[in-house]
């Protein structure tokens, strides 16, 4: 087990949605030296910026969270950007980490790396048994290359790289931009704005039939920090809640919690994405004692409370 109290930890993406919670968890563990780069200062797609980041941060441990992310709409419109930028960030961060001699590199992958059609629940050993869902494939494969790279570097250089794959995340401070947000913040915003504007209908993408698993962001942060402390094996690890819900049921719950009583219309001309997503979460519990604590209902209530306080207050001005 690694004690983080006396380590210098570089958290790329540390100012983002998940990153803010990871940084807070590190500080709770007594980690006094956490370096959080800003994209305005370090463009991690460029090798020279990555080299400069390592020189400035001088890390013992790297947690690589930085990514170009978005919902189905964004990944469908710009698949090349999602592939290239995520591939280059991951490959260069790990290569420079190896050259710099970091003690550990924690790569954060994605559920989108899994094949489109595999048995439920998704087991880590099934990761290579097919091609990912088409709308997310460029992003998912770019992130998956960090697993390949980490295992290759472990074999050749004895480099301690681990690979974690969180399922869909949500929670306070999520991305509510209508052009890039995922289903939970997008639906919360649609319901809240319909109530505010007196509209009796919201339109949601797809058919509502796919199932998804959701992990509360604070639980995800705890899982990442636990793995940083306790896990040093080459095999990838799922981070999830272990329970799923259909998109239709999810939207109905959000409508109830927001107080939206109007019509929910499903736009079947829009893509559904992967048919089913549910993780086998046994490896994370066995290897480093991680188990999600927050129910979907409780997590949604906390997210909605934050939204009402922060987002709606700004809109009312």
Catalytic residue list contains 139 = yes
Residues whose CB is less than 8 angstroms from the CB of residue 172 and which lie 6 or more positions away in sequence, other chains included: 217, 302, 303, 305, 306, 307
- Which residues, at least 6 apart from 197, have a Cβ–Cβ distance to it below 8 Å? none
Task: Measure CA of the first residue to CA of the last residue in the chain; give whole Å.
Answer: 49
The active-site residue out of 42, 54, 114, 139 is 139
Active site residues: 139
């Amino acid at each position: 087990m690694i004690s983080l109290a006396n380590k210098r930890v570089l958290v790329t993406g540390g100012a983002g949605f998940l990153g803010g919670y990871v940084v807070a968890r590190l500080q709770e563990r007594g980690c006094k030296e956490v370096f959080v780069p800003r994209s305005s200062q370090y463009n991690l797609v460029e090798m020279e910026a990555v080299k400069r980041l390592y020189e400035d941060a001088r890390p013992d441990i790297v947690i690589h969270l930085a990514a170009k992310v978005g919902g189905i709409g964004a990944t469908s419109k710009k698949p090349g950007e999602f592939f290239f930028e995520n591939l280059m960030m991951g490959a260069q961060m790990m290569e420079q980490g190896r050259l710099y001699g970091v003690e550990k590199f924690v790569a954060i992958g994605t559920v989108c790396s899994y094949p489109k059609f595999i048995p439920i629940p998704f087991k880590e050993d099934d990761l290579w048994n097919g091609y990912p869902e088409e709308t997310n494939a460029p992003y998912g494969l770019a992130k998956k290359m960090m697993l390949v790279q980490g295992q290759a570097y472990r074999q050749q250089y004895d480099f301690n790289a681990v690979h974690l794959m969180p399922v869909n995340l949500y929670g306070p401070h999520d991305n509510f931009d209508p052009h890039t947000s995922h289903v939970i913040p997008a639906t919360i915003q649609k319901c809240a704005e319909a109530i505010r504007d007196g509209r009796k209908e919201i339109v949601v993408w797809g058919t509502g039939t796919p199932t998804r698993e959701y992990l509360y962001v604070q639980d995800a942060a705890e899982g990442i920090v636990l793995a940083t402390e306790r896990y040093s094996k080459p095999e990838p690890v799922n981070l999830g809640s272990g329970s799923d819900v259909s998109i239709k049921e999810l939207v109905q719950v959000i409508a109830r919690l927001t107080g939206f009583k109007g019509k929910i219309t499903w736009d079947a001309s829009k893509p559904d994405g992967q048919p089913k997503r549910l993780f086998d979460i046994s490896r994370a519990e066995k290897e480093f004692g991680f188990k999600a604590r927050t129910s979907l209902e409780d997590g949604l209530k906390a997210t909605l409370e934050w939204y009402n306080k922060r987002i709606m207050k700004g809109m009312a001005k």
